Every structure is written in C-alpha cells, then in structure tokens.
Structure 1
Amino acid sequence: MPRGLAAAVVAVFLLCLAPARLSAQTDAPRDSQPAKRDTARTPAPRSRAWYERLSLRGYTQVRYNRLLETNPDLTCAQCDRSIGRNNGFFIRRSRIVLSGEVHPRVSVYIQPDLASEANGQLHYAQIRDAYFDLFLDSAKTLRLRVGQSKIPFGFQNLQSSSNRLPLDRDDGLNSGLPNERDLGVMGYWSPPTARHRFKVLTDSGYKGSGDYGVVGLGIFNGQTANRAEQNDGQHAVLRVSYPFQLPGGQFVEAGVQGYSGRFVIPSSQRTAGLNAPREFDDRRVAASLIVYPQPIGFQAEWNVGRGPSFSREGTPTIREEHLSGGYAMVMMRTKPGSHVLTPFARGQYYDGGKKLDTDARHHRVRELEVGAEWLPFSAFELTASYVASDRRTSDFAAPDAREQGRFLRLQAQFNY
C-alpha cells in the first residue's frame, strides 16, 4: 500500500480520538465535591480485579470425510487437509477463547488453536486471535482493534467456524485471506441499533457474524496470519455492512468490501527453476447479501479482483491475473421439539490463483454441498454434508490437473 495512503488511514484514526476526549470531559463530575452517602449501613461495592472480568470458553471439531468417497485423489488443502487418500479421523479445530473487559474502555480477546498443523505434524498450538479493543467513546460505538484479528472482508470469512453451516469457507473469498486474519489496526463504527442487532443475530442462533461494525477500516501487513511481513507496505481494507430489520421482523444484511496491497511470494513457495517476480498486486472487491433463516434464509457473496496466479501460457511463470468467484446458499432453521435442525445447500465457483499455494497455484472450482446441522443441546452439534466437487489446478509440477469426486462428511462439535 502506498505510504501516503497508510498515512491517511492513520490520520483518520487519530481524528477518531476527538470523540473520546470529548466523552471524557462530558463524563467527568460537574461538582468537585462528591455527594454524601450513608456508608454506615451500605458497604461500598468491591471493584473486581481485571482477571475477574475475564471469561473462558471454547469448542472442538472432530471430522471424518471418507464415507461414500468416489475419488481418494480429490483434495483441498486450503479447506481441510484430511480430505482424500491416507486420512482418517481428524481434529479440525480445538480452540480456547480468553476474553473480557479489563477496563471500561479496553477489552481483550485471545484465541489459540491447539489443532494446527506444522510440516505434516498435527496438534500444534498456534495463535489465531490476539487483539485488544480500545473504545473511543463511552457508548462504545467507535473502537480501535489492535493486534492479530480477522480482516473485515466477506461475511463468511468473519463468521465463526463454530457458527457456520458448511464445514469450510468458500474458495472464492477465502482464497484472498486464508486463515481470515492478519496483524494490523482496525477501526470499527457501530451505532447502538446496529450493535444490538448484531448481538441478536449471533445469540439467537441465526448464524450472524458478530459485530464487525457498520463501517470497518484498517491497515494490516498483508502476508496473512502468523507469517512475517515481507515488504515495506501494508494492505488497506474497507467494509460497509448494515443489518436491516423489515417490518415483519425479518433480518437482512447487505455489505460491500474491498482490500488492496502488495503481496510477496517467498522462495519457499516457488518450485525451483520457476522464473517469476517476487511481489504482486493483491486487490479485491466483494458484495454480500444475507437473508437470515427465519425460518428460511439465503446467503450469497461474490468477489472479483487481481492477484498472483500460475500461468502456463508461453513460458510458465507467476503473473498478476484476474480472479472471480463466490457462492450462494439456502438454509432452513427448524425446531423439532427442543432440538434445532438446519438443512442447507451451497453451490460455489472460483476461477483464480491461491497466493499461499505453491507457485500461486491456479484453481477452477465447481462444487455443490448439501447437508444439515443438528443441535440437540447447546454443548453438542452434529453436521453431515454430501459434497460433489470438480477441481482443476495448474502449477509448475502439474500444469493441467483435474480431480472430480463425491464424498460424505461428518463433524462432531463440542462447545464448552
């Protein structure tokens, strides 16, 4: 990202501090003499220590993907490394969240994942989120988020994996931000009505994404989560999304978002002998529409942009090329007795490179997933989905590879 643009973004954040100063003056007592209280009968309430304001929660997902499998060579490393040959039961995620308000103006959110993979070995611990929210006004409508957190691009990217119906995010939008997170500073603005609706959509079981602001603006490194920065520029991101409530009570959320920056493909992600530039433009724009399941819902997102992609035309190399893709999904939330059953169907398409793959491997994905999530009680969920997939890839080692297949997936999720 040009340094001038970065400076402009920082200037916006500094200007946001003005409401905080004004709020501090407004909140101060007008009379320097405190009102007299009868302390003989009513003891003063004990202020809680910062560590007493923290809460601990988490979830674990255990999967099996090999039922009714027609092609064991069909894989999707970005989606789930346990898809395909030589795989069995797999802990996809095992996360613990430490969060809370340690001050009226500061909250903390730390989430490690105990089921990460490293060099083919499983169950390594890795930081997913480690950020602090600094509220700039007493109403908490404006805040800065500092640290490693989700980048506000795409509804399904922001939706928690514990809350999402399909077992994996779509290739189209998620290929721009694998792991959905990066190090940076985000600014979020949420007026009270929107904040309340974001909370209702999450707490009610309607599969909301949480409060990432009506407006989200930020700068971040751009190499994705847990990866060192590789150049002197940052990415910039902007998202605008609003949860409308129709007269009948139906919630509808619409949003637009985009990011831009320069991405570096390190030598470890290139095949030896492949001659290609080191740095590439990396920019996208996307639109989102969510009709929440009350009881029938619809969800669709689409993005277009440019990014690094392997090209076999002429001399094989990595080039900046056009990309596009997204998904559409229908779902229905039903409540048989005390249970919650939510069947869904999602179709997705993506045509473009994946910048974290070897040689920024080019993908053309067509996939249909039909499944259902069963929630018998709050601590346990079971999801089953049947997938029909057609994936064509191109890199230096395999310039024209294609795998098609179908398989049944099961996931048990434990919430604690």
Structure 2
Amino acid sequence: MKKRLSAAISSVGLILGTSLFSPAGAQEIDLYVDTVTKQVYTEPGKNRVKMGTFQQVQKGANRQDKKSSDRQAQKKTDQPAQKDSVQQARKDSSQQAQNEPGPAFVHEPLPERPKEEHWYDRMHIRGYTQFRNSTTVSGDKDAVVYWPDRSVGEDTSFLIRRARLILYGDITDNLYLYFQPDFASTPSGSTTGNFGQLRDAYADISFDDKKEFRVRLGQSKIPFSFENMQSSQNRLALDRADGINTCCRDERDIGAFFYWVPAEIRERFRELVANNLKGSGDYGVFAFGVYNGQGANRVELNNDMHMVARVTYPYQFSNGQIFEAGVEALHGRFVTSNGPVNGITPVMVAPAKGFVDERVAVHAVLYPQPFGLQAEWNWGRGPQLNGVQRLITESPLTGGYVQATYKYDSGPWGILFPFVKWQYYEGGQKFERNAPKNLVNDWELGVEWQVTKAIELTAVYHMMNRTDVLNAPYERFRADAVRFQVQWNY
C-alpha cells in the first residue's frame, strides 16, 4: 500500500508540476484515479474515474506581467519539454498499473443477506458428573444395603453416581425445550451399570411475553416437595430424604403441568440458584398437573392418572433475607409388584386400578444468608406389606426431614457449606417389589466445599438406622458410613 501511495504521489506531483510551470494557454491535462488500486492515470480506462482537468494556477498579475516576456521566449523550448514530461508521466503511470495487481472488474457491494436462523442456534449445553466413594466404619457392615447409593455397603468401591448432559434453550419466544439424559443409570435387576437413560424431555409452552403462564409437556419433575425439585447438582445432602422421595420414582414422570409465576418472583427463583443459595429453580408459585403415576421410564399399568397441586412463595424481607414456604398434595392409584417372601407370594388387596396413593406435604426454607434452615414433612396413604408379610394393603405413611446449614465464603479458598440433617420415615416403599415397610431414622453430618464453580467436594458422616427394602425378608440394620463425593460442573 505504501508503494502504491508513493507512486500515486509521484505521478500527481510530476503532472501538476508540469502544469503549474507551463505558460498560459498550456495544454490541459485530465487525471483519472483507479477505484480499486487508487493509482492515478492521465487517460481513461477500466475502473478509472475522472478526477478533473488540471492547468496552470495564476499566482498574481504583477508576477505574470514580469515574467510574460520570458515565458514567450521560452515557449518553443518548454512545449517539447512539457510533452516529454506528460509522456513520461503517462509511461510511469502505465508501468505502475502493470506492476500493481488488481481485480479484473469492479461492482457495487451487494447488500448483506440476513443470517438464516435455525432452531439449534438457540440451544445451549451444560452438565455435571458425580464421583463417589464410601466406607462403612461401624455397625452391621455385612447387612448394609442402601438403596439410594450403591457405593455404600460391603464389596463396593468407586461409583459414578450421575453423568448428565443437558440441552436447553428458547426455540421461539413461546417455546422452551429441555432434554437431559443420564449416562450412569442401572436398570432394575441389572448387574451392569452406566446405561444411558432419559431423565427429562419436555417442552414449556408459554402464553404471554413474560412467560408467567406456561404448560409443560413431556417427562419432567413432578411439582411435589422442595427437595425433590432441587437439583442434585445444588443439593447439600448426597441423597434426598426417604420420607419425601418415596412419593415419586426419580422425582419424574410423563405428564402435563401448568405453572404460574409473576415475572418478579420468576426472577427471584432464578437468582436463588444463580447466587448460590441452594434454590430449587422455577416451578411456579402455583402448579397443577396430571401424570401417569408409575414413575419415570416405567410402563403405565392402569387407566388412571395421578393429580398434583403445589403452592409456594419466596418472601424477601427488607434486609434481603429470603424465606420460602409452601404446601402440596397428590392423589392417584398405584400398581405395585409382588414376589416371594420366604417362599410365599403376598396377596395384593387392591382394586384392578391399584392402591390408593395420596399425600399432603408442607415445606419451609430459610435460605443460607449465611445461616439456613430447611424442613419438610408429609402424610398420606399407600401400598405396604403387612407385618406378617402375607398381604399388601393400603396403610398410612409419614415422614420428612430437618436440615441446618451455614454458608461461609473463605475468599480465595472457596465457599464452605457445613450442614447437619435428620430424616425420618415410616411407610411403604411402593416402587420396590411387595412395597415393604421402610423405617428410617438417620443422621448426617457433612460439609460441601466449593473449591471453584467447576469443582465441588463433599464429605459426610452418615449414621444409618433403616430397613433393607431390596431383599426379603426386609431386615433392619444400623451402621455408620463415611461418604465422599467429587462433582465437576461444565
């Protein structure tokens, strides 16, 4: 580019110099500039635009009169020189044009075409993985069978508890998609783990610009309880409490749910998660829905749907502290399975559509700012194996938990969440064969250390007092276990 400008300046200087010092009435010179290479030429050509016609500039009348005789005397001599200069300038410009590359043609710039937008351009991806290890340190070591976590008990080692990849995004202004498989699942009865299995696949269809009213269709979480709604990615305790979690297999099912939440509260739900306050996410201030009732990834076994309703509200005090409270209920009929217990298969005393399955629950959450308190309790009825293990009948159930925590920000060392949790449950384990009675009275002492946003370490001392609900005749056991988890978020 510097060479081009230098050549252009030289050409213009040469030509203008020739013109300025030519006598009055000297030949006029037309100059042309190439719109691509910016070269100056003395004759028209392709891509060249005329700059103008150049001639001698009059400096003043006195000077003109004084030198008029000299110019007349030199006229014959200057004319050949002028011609030689012009010819040399043309020759130099022509040679420069040959040396400088340029396009063969020039056209007007085309108008920019609007970028074609595809639905997948608006999708995002994230996920997390949980890696666990546990050691039973005392009690009935040989009898430990902990159904929520296969890394607890004898003959166990490392375990990938969850390996989830989430695709999500607003496909349009009124359609939101969410898809979450888990690649660390183990189907019932299988001795091989780490299968890929669907957890969530749903669409949110909103009816207004603020998305205060929406319907969720597909497989998703059932709006019952607080801890069930809270992602295991955010939860402090390694597992959900039996008393609440026994309502819904994997907390999910296929159904249709209606959610309503004011825009201001919707934003508050979002901030509770974004600000690392262990929120549950946006499941509406009011929720109502119907779903199959047999649990996630389970075949429907009756022509009957469960119904669920939930009301919750996160109230913010003037000092910024947030307290959330709510109530929920569900009702339907559940078809359980049966099999031999001590050689005898229990009889199921229930209509063809299954056992009554109903609950009502309350929850209250004081978010950790920095002290936090979380509690839930539910009451209801469901299928349960009787005391002599010969009949499966409808029986009452009750249970819940209380958890206290403290959020400590240690600056460059990360964030610590020490916590203590007590849980209790007495009732049937409806998703297991024969719906055995489960009696749980556990304590957990632990701490979660968020080293960075991407890496979290959790250590828990778990004092178990519960029932082996996986193996007949469903004996009780007591044991203490030390449990560890590393979670990486991406």
Question: Which one of 425, 439, 444 corresponds to residue 350 of structure 1?
Answer: 425
Does 1:165 find its partner at 2:239? no
Quote the residue 1:391 is aligned against: 466
Quote the residue 1:71 is aligned against: 140
> Does structure 1 conserve the Cα–Cα contact (< 8 Å) formed by 2:139 and 2:479?
yes
Report the CA distance between 1:266 and its aligned residue: 3.3
Quote the residue 1:408 is aligned against: 482
Quote the residue 1:259 is aligned against: 330
Rounded Cα–Cα distance in structure 2 between residues aligned with 1:287 and 1:44:
56
Quote the residue 2:363 is aligned against: 288
Does 1:323 find its partner at 2:424? no
Does 1:112 find its partner at 2:181? yes
**Amino acid in structure 1 at the alignment position of 2:308:** V
What secondary structure, in the 3-state scheme, does the structure 1 residue paired with 2:120 have? Answer: helix
Whichever of the two has the greater Rg, that structure is: 2
- Structure with greater strand share of residues: 1
What secondary structure, in the 3-state scheme, does the structure 2 residue paired with 1:188 have? Answer: strand
TM-score under structure 2 length normalisation: 0.73
Larger displacement relative to structure 2 (268-277 or 114-123): 268-277
Does 1:144 find its partner at 2:219? no
- Structure with greater helix share of residues: 2
Quote the residue 1:187 is aligned against: 258
Does 1:276 find its partner at 2:348? yes
Quote the residue 2:72 is aligned against: none
Please give the per-residue CA displacement for 1:322-365, whole angstroms capped at 9, x wherever unaligned: 00000000000011113111100000000000101121010110
**Tell me, which stretches of 5 or more residues in structure 1 are unaligned?**
1-39
Report the CA distance between 1:214 and its aligned residue: 0.1
What secondary structure, in the 3-state scheme, does the structure 2 residue paired with 1:254 have? Answer: strand
Does 1:374 find its partner at 2:435? no
> Does structure 2 conserve the Cα–Cα contact (< 8 Å) formed by 1:364 and 1:393?
no
Report the CA distance between 1:73 and its aligned residue: 3.3
Please give the per-residue CA displacement for 1:9-41, whole angstroms capped at 9, x wherever unaligned: xxxxxxxxxxxxxxxxxxxxxxxxxxxxxxx99
Question: Which one of 278, 295, 309 corresponds to residue 224 of structure 1?
Answer: 295
**Amino acid in structure 1 at the alignment position of 2:313:** Y
What secondary structure, in the 3-state scheme, does the structure 2 residue paired with 1:374 have? Answer: strand
Quote the residue 2:283 is aligned against: 212
Rounded Cα–Cα distance in structure 2 between residues aligned with 1:68 and 1:182:
37
> Does structure 2 conserve the Cα–Cα contact (< 8 Å) formed by 1:362 and 1:395?
no
Quote the residue 2:39 is aligned against: none
**1:257/1:44 CA distance change after superposition, 3 Å:** farther
Question: Which one of 41, 51, 67 corresponds to residue 120 of structure 2?
Answer: 51
Larger displacement relative to structure 2 (258-267 or 405-414): 258-267
Aligned-pair identity in percent equals 42
What secondary structure, in the 3-state scheme, does the structure 2 residue paired with 1:48 have? Answer: coil
**1:76/1:185 CA distance change after superposition, 3 Å:** farther
Quote the residue 1:83 is aligned against: 152
Report the CA distance between 1:268 and its aligned residue: 6.4
Rounded Cα–Cα distance in structure 1 between residues aligned with 2:403 and 2:150:
23
> Does structure 1 conserve the Cα–Cα contact (< 8 Å) formed by 2:142 and 2:153?
yes
**Amino acid in structure 2 at the alignment position of 1:289:** A
Rounded Cα–Cα distance in structure 2 between residues aligned with 1:60 and 1:355:
29
Report the CA distance between 1:275 and its aligned residue: 1.6
Quote the residue 2:380 is aligned against: 305
> Does structure 2 conserve the Cα–Cα contact (< 8 Å) formed by 1:73 and 1:403?
no
Rounded Cα–Cα distance in structure 2 between residues aligned with 1:356 and 1:272:
20
Report the CA distance between 1:69 and its aligned residue: 4.6
Report the CA distance between 1:369 and its aligned residue: 0.2
**1:42/1:70 CA distance change after superposition, 3 Å:** farther
**Amino acid in structure 2 at the alignment position of 1:292:** Y
Report the CA distance between 1:47 and its aligned residue: 5.6
Does 1:175 find its partner at 2:250? no
TM-score under structure 1 length normalisation: 0.86
Report the CA distance between 1:272 and its aligned residue: 5.6
Does 1:236 find its partner at 2:307? yes
Alignment RMSD, CA only?
2.0
Report the CA distance between 1:137 and its aligned residue: 1.1
Report the CA distance between 1:134 and its aligned residue: 0.4
Report the CA distance between 1:283 and its aligned residue: 0.2
> Does structure 2 conserve the Cα–Cα contact (< 8 Å) formed by 1:310 and 1:362?
yes
**Amino acid in structure 2 at the alignment position of 1:369:** E
Report the CA distance between 1:77 and its aligned residue: 4.3
**Amino acid in structure 1 at the alignment position of 2:265:** A
Please give the per-residue CA displacement for 1:171-218, whole angstroms capped at 9, x wherever unaligned: 000011120000000000010111011001010000000000000100
**Amino acid in structure 1 at the alignment position of 2:312:** S
